[in-house]
Chains A and B, each alone.
Chain A
């Protein structure tokens, strides 16, 4: 098992000086994930918090080859880079013994929503790339609008809670399952609260031949509205309440990576976050019930799949 001490000695590929918010989950995720391969790496980054906060010209926080072209196409962009790598390798313009890894990445806006088609295409075509979604449950870069990853009942600027609305009315899209349905070699859901699990999954994703997908829960103090010093704790609560289960699907086989000894009620996840504050009004009680019911159903289903 990898030791934190060893990881700490590795060179940072995303260095200090970026402009991400205090307590943001993104740098934490990337500091772990980018240590999971020692090979040269090319990253294609969708428009979003990570892109904007790391590359304000003439500065860059990237100590690794990096490209941004647009919002909805990080997957197609990295697919193009990988295609060129294959062509030049075949033509002998890149030495046979040189290995380069490819990572496409975006938030839930760039992945669940506007970039879903490009991601699906890249995965289906079998490009040997890893795609990582940092899922902070909202369009955080543009000020916290709803996405299809925003949880039921969360107040977002385009699904605000009000006298006639309890916030977002829809259950979130299950992107990890959608990617699983692409029958790619490796799909995993991870959280920065369990860094070793995240590291292991990233390592597998980089090592597997063919496409791999990582869906990583990403704390966002700005849009979730909680004490920014408690982010990792909150991410842990997400796994303990089974709101964000940790699992992987390797060649079609489901595996649960974390089973809480005692499954906690969703209220522990909901209470610390300002985006859910209005759910404690009497008229919104049904949302909390519905939330718990859905989480229970999904957890049960996941356990069933993992037992096959």
Chain B
């Protein structure tokens, strides 16, 4: 039965884990994702989940346990953040390369140095080329919905690719919200039975997993791996649609907010999109034709769909919650600007980095961005292609 529960972001992930009941859960505590691991441990202690819960001695080993367990042939999840994801980095590539459908909850947090425990996207953006599907959540409800869908996406036989679900550290991981939690049986039904592909535990087959490739095979195997994530968009859409039909909340590659006749647009992911919606409402009341595009799927990047949604606007500001030192813009910006290159006419696109280390972003900051966009739209000129919001300089 569907019920309303007051949960924070970490608890919503743990609640989803309880309902899905994966075969193996292996995770190492790290702020701000610790409560995910603790809640799962308590569920296990209270007999509410039947899978194995493993407490490895590091995140590197947590992902290694997940890799061993997923290769063995069953459903697997983990959770981490920041330095923990960074420590897993080597194994993230191997999980993807071995085509293991592991699902990870990431309470997005800044990377050291300086050490900081608050929310930004440096951790998952650092892992953007690791071969994982990346889904970002605006609030607790989305974190719950995304995490459940992640199993279906990862495990789809045409995809077989690990998925990470991001929720902003503290801002979402520690904020209480009223969340619609669906019935246990309905969730189990939705996720379905796990289908093993070449499981190690079928010892009659005596397979060799993870052999050495030289120059003669590596390239082809990497190409085959990419086919998995290339197959993901259709599956992501199908799963999002099916989820909507079952539970009333539909999901796609991104959300468009008041974009119908927008001349300018702000692109921002995750929790900041919620604040941005308030700013858009106020600006619309003032008569400005502005909208929001909130990407949900960052990998595989829905380039064509985003370009089509933006190409009719005159100016776009892409807001990134991570920096990319030395690059021509931050990660989301470079993807979006690249996606628009083939369209003529196309909007001017600028980039603002915001919120590093959990620095707040408020309605007024979005309004400043809107003002700059107005000027660009009016003059057709960009003075500064790259800047920062709410930063003392």
Contacts and interface: CB of A to CB of B under 8 A. Distances in A.
B381 to A, nearest CB: 51
Interface stretch (B147-155, B200-208, B331-339): B200-208
A77 interface: yes
B97 to A, nearest CB: 9
Interface string A112-132: 000001101110110000000
Contact of B201 (A60, A75, A76, A94): A94
Contacts of B200: 42, 65, 67, 81
Nearest to B209: A67
Contact of A72 (B60, B72, B203, B204): B60
Interface in A42-82: 42, 44, 51-52, 55-58, 60, 62-70, 72-73, 75-82
A85 interface: yes
A90 B217 contact: no
B65 A83 contact: yes
Given A67-B200, A121-B58, A55 B208 contact: yes
B24 interface: yes
A87 B24 CA distance: 7
B77 to A, nearest CB: 12
B279 interface: no
Given A57-B217, A117-B61, A121-B58, A70 B71 contact: no
A157 to B, nearest CB: 22
A117 B211 contact: no
Contacts of A90: 50
Interface centre among A72, A84, A124 (most CB of B within 10 A): A84
B209 A83 contact: no
A80 B200 CA distance: 11
Nearest to B95: A69
B208 A62 contact: yes
Given A69-B94, A121-B57, A100 B201 contact: yes
B56 interface: yes
B91 interface: yes
Contacts of B206: 62-66
B212 A83 contact: no
Which of the four size classes fits the interface of chain B?
A: 35 or more
Interface string B41-53: 0000000001110
A81 B201 contact: yes
B52 A86 contact: yes
Contacts of B79: none
Contacts of A252: none
B17 to A, nearest CB: 14
Contacts of A117: 57-58, 61
B87 to A, nearest CB: 11
A66 B61 CA distance: 19
Contacts of B94: 69-70
B23 A66 contact: no
A76 B211 contact: no
Contact of B208 (A40, A66, A70, A100): A66
B57 A57 contact: no
A8 interface: no
A65 B201 CA distance: 8
Nearest to B57: A121
A80 B211 contact: no
A52 B51 CA distance: 34
A84 B56 contact: no
Interface in A88-110: 88, 90-91, 93-94, 100
B98 interface: yes
Given A72-B60, A79-B65, 14 more contacts: A40-B204, A56-B214, A62-B208, A66-B209, A67-B208, A67-B209, A69-B98, A79-B68, A80-B24, A84-B76, A87-B50, A91-B50, A117-B57, A118-B57
Interface of A: 40-42, 44, 51-52, 55-58, 60, 62-70, 72-73, 75-88, 90-91, 93-94, 100, 117-118, 120-122, 124-125
9 contacts: A55-B212, A58-B217, A67-B200, A80-B72, A81-B69, A90-B50, A91-B23, A100-B201, A117-B61
* Nearest 8 pairs of A and B residues by beta carbon: A80-B68, A121-B57, A84-B72, A76-B64, A40-B203, A55-B211, A80-B65, A73-B64
